[in-house]
């Protein structure tokens, strides 16, 4: 069974400092390059085989007075790493889409040149919470980007260049996202990480998440990555009781969006830092979908990601 992994990261903070990656990376994994990723993905359980993948930016955000990270240089670094790879790959880069559309287009062209034909889209993380700093990602300075006219221009610009947008935000931002992207059907949208469902929340939170997911699922150009599941259930890979929540949510999302709009992703090496090895991670994905048809599983593990990101 072929695998297209639509979400992994590379970095070398000794050569390319990036404070936005956080202390866990600095302390436990300051360097993670293509050879290490391929070695990790070689642990895929049978019958899975990696044939393509998509690198997603690690810049996270940029604001005045914050850490300056060269976004185009990251794309250039990743592209050079991928030149030695034996399978097709795409790159999702960081561009600030809510400042100046003319500047955004200029930066897009720079990324396209640096990506050497691999540029597939943009991610600008939007996770922001008015009261909980743990749910506000580094250098995401505001929570209202989704309602910004300039941001909408930036999303439309991606569609004009045949690029997609990776959406990462908190569940309370879903309704704004659905309203914005309903106006921009020409730009494919990929919701990251099961919609950032957070651990330790109450039933009201889950209903908010569900209502927002339903709103996004009503838009045919929106798909979703089934990944970063430790965020909703830390330690789920070691405890069958904890495993029930991510298993249930994953199956619910697949039912809601359909297998042809869902894709399993490694989120490596972030999940590895959480102690989740590739064999265990993809073993869970296989177990949770064992009652799905061969066609549906082919979409979940490969077809959806390959189609959306235009890789083999």
pLDDT at position 152: 98
pLDDT at position 15: 94
pLDDT at position 306: 98
**Separation of alpha carbons 167 and 126, rounded Å:** 8
Query: Alpha helix locations (H) across the chain?
Result: 23-28, 34-41, 71-82, 101-115, 149-160, 174-182, 203-217, 240-257, 270-273, 278-288, 294-298, 304-309
**Residue 138 sits in a domain of what CATH number?**
3.20.20.140
Per-residue model confidence as pLDDT tens digits over 270-306: 999 999 999 999 999 999 999 999 999 999 999 999 9
Q: 82 is in which domain, residue-wise?
A: 2-309
Question: By the 8 A CB rule, do 61 and 20 touch?
Answer: yes
Bridge-based pairing of strands 49-56 and 11-12 is unpaired
The label of the residue with tokens 């670094």 reads 77
Of 199, 204, 224, 227, the C-alpha closest to 214 is 224
Work out the widest C-alpha separation in the chain, in whole angstroms: 51
pLDDT along the chain (312 residues), means of 10: 98 95 94 96 97 97 93 96 84 97 98 97 97 95 96 98 98 98 98 97 97 98 98 98 98 98 98 98 98 98 98 92
pLDDT at position 84: 73
- The neighbour count for residue 270, using CB atoms within 10 Å, is 24
Number of independent structural domains in the chain: 1
pTM: predicted TM-score of the whole model, two decimal places? 0.97
- The neighbour count for residue 80, using CB atoms within 10 Å, is 12
Terminal-to-terminal C-alpha distance of the chain: 14
pLDDT at position 24: 92
């Amino acid at each position: 069974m072929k695998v297209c992994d639509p979400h992994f990261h590379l970095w070398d903070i000794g050569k390319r400092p990036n404070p936005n990656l956080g202390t866990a990376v600095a302390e436990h994994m300051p360097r993670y390059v293509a050879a290490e990723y391929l070695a990790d993905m070689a642990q895929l359980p049978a019958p899975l085989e990696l044939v393509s993948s998509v690198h997603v930016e690690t810049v996270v955000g940029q604001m005045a007075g914050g850490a300056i990270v060269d976004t185009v240089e990251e794309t250039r670094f990743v592209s050079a790493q991928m030149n030695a790879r034996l399978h097709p790959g795409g790159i999702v880069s960081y561009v600030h889409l809510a400042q100046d559309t003319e500047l955004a287009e200029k930066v897009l062209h720079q990324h396209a040149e640096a990506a050497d034909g691999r540029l597939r889209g943009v991610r600008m993380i939007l996770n922001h919470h008015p009261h909980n700093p743990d749910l506000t990602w580094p250098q995401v300075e505001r929570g209202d980007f989704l309602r910004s006219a300039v941001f909408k221009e930036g999303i439309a610009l991606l569609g004009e260049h045949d690029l997609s947008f990776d959406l990462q935000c908190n569940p309370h931002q879903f309704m704004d996202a659905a309203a914005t992207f309903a106006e921009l059907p020409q730009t494919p949208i990929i919701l990251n990480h099961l919609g950032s469902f957070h651990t330790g929340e109450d039933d009201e939170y889950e209903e908010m998440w569900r209502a927002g997911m339903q709103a996004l699922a009503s838009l045919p150009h929106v798909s979703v990555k089934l990944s970063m599941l430790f965020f909703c259930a830390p330690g789920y890979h070691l405890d069958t009781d904890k495993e029930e929540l991510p298993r249930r949510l994953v199956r619910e999302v697949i039912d809601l969006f359909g297998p042809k709009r869902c894709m399993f992703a490694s989120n490596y090496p972030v999940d590895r830092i959480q102690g989740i090895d590739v064999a265990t991670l993809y073993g869970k994905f296989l177990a949770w979908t064992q009652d799905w048809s061969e066609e549906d599983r082919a979409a979940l593990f490969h077809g959806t990601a390959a189609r959306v990101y235009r890789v083999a």
